[in-house]
Amino acid sequence: MSAPTVELRRPEGRHVRHREMVWGTTVSIDVRAGENGLPAERVVRHAVDVAVANMHWVDAVFSTYRPDSVVTALRTGMLDERRLSRRDPAQGAVLDVVQRCREGREMTGGCFDPWAVRGGFDPSGYVKAWAAERIADDLVAAGCANVCVDAGGDVVTRGAAAPGLPWEVGIRHPDDPGAVTWTLLPGDGAVSTSGTYERPAHIVDPRTGRPAGGARSASVVGPDARLAGVLATALVVAGRDGAAWFAGLRDWSAYVVDPAPAGTAWSLGRDRYARR
């Protein structure tokens, strides 16, 4: 799945970086040195290797393009959700994702609905952010305290980009790939961006079955990558109408560009994430 472009500001310093083609995009891992430097290279490399293996496990379980994935079995009717077992790691992960997708659908008044797409249940818009957050937390648990995982529009950060310098995520304007509309500081959090300006029909309004037209782009920043992905997609569908359900969320901010021809940029929620 392609995604709107974000720009990650990375100061120079010791680092380990890895890029992997998976989930229909390029996923990048950036491990930065902290006050005490980097962990031993073998520790970092092993942690990155485990992260890459986990990316491909997620693809094998959740891909809608693989005939052998659990999600494909659900979509084709070969597997009934009621028969999924938490004793199986892959099926248990799918059950967790199904539950969170239902919660997201309810929270957004149906503007996020992975069941209302052609072909049946497609959680791809949730899974990418969910998996990026799991990978970031696994890297931290392995000793890599300063991490960024950038999964094509879903960015998860932990720690700092360099001692005393926060991670900065720049959000491009839909009309100008070289223009940064907002620069966000997610801290130990996440930024998720969805939009229709690169692939106009790939986000569908579940309420109508037609391409979403509420906003040209929406970026959401907060403490939970999984929910950020849900909210960003839902705001592209709902546009300004989404402010009604977004306003009740604590510790979240959204940065949105209206549909053309207006192209007006607006924000809602807490502004603590924006660089001043």
pLDDT band at 88 (very low <50, low <70, confident <90, very high): very high
Is 118 inside a domain boundary? yes
Q: Is residue 81 over pLDDT 50?
A: yes
Q: Is residue 262 over pLDDT 90?
A: no
pLDDT band at 176 (very low <50, low <70, confident <90, very high): confident
Cβ neighbours of residue 97 closer than 8 Å, sequence gap 6 or more: 62, 123, 126, 127, 130
Q: How many CA atoms lie within 13 A of 250 on its CB side?
A: 0
Which run of H or E residues covers position 227? helix 225-238
- Mean pLDDT over residues 171-183, rounded? 85
- Residues paired with 6 in a beta bridge: 171
Residue 257: C-alpha distances to residues 72, 202, 212, 240, 250 (Å): 34, 17, 13, 10, 22
For 110-162, the pLDDT digits (tens) are 999 999 988 999 999 899 999 999 999 999 999 999 999 999 889 999 999 99
CB–CB of 32/146 below 8 Å?
yes
* Pairing, β 176-184 against β 147-151: unpaired
Q: Is residue 5 over pLDDT 80?
A: no
Say which range, 143-147, 255-259, 262-266, has the weakest mean pLDDT. Answer: 262-266
DSSP for residue 242: G
CA quadruple 176, 156, 115, 252: dihedral sign: negative
For 238-251, the pLDDT digits (tens) are 999 999 999 989 89
Is 45 inside a domain boundary? yes
Give me the chain's average pLDDT, please. Answer: 91
Is 1 inside a domain boundary? no
Residue 143: C-alpha distances to residues 43, 134, 164, 168, 190 (Å): 8, 15, 19, 22, 20
Q: Is residue 222 over pLDDT 90?
A: yes
Q: Two tokens at 2?
A: 């392609």
Structural domain containing residue 223: 6-269
Give me the number of domains the chain comprises: 1
Q: Is residue 204 over pLDDT 80?
A: yes
Q: What is the pLDDT of residue 149?
A: 98
- Mean pLDDT over residues 265-273, rounded? 83
Q: What is the pLDDT of residue 169?
A: 95
Is 67 inside a domain boundary? yes
H helices of 2-123, in order, are 41-62, 70-76, 89-107
- Mean pLDDT over residues 94-120, rounded? 96
Q: Is residue 31 over pLDDT 80?
A: yes
Pairwise CA distance, residues 7 & 171, whole Å? 6
Is 13 inside a domain boundary? yes
- Provide the phi-psi class of 114: left if phi over 0, else alpha when psi is between -120 and 50, else beta: alpha
Is 207 inside a domain boundary? yes
CATH code for the domain of 35: 3.10.520.10
Alpha carbon of residue 50 to chain centroid? 20
pTM strictly above 0.75: yes
Is 276 inside a domain boundary? no
Is 275 inside a domain boundary? no
Q: What is the pLDDT of residue 3?
A: 47
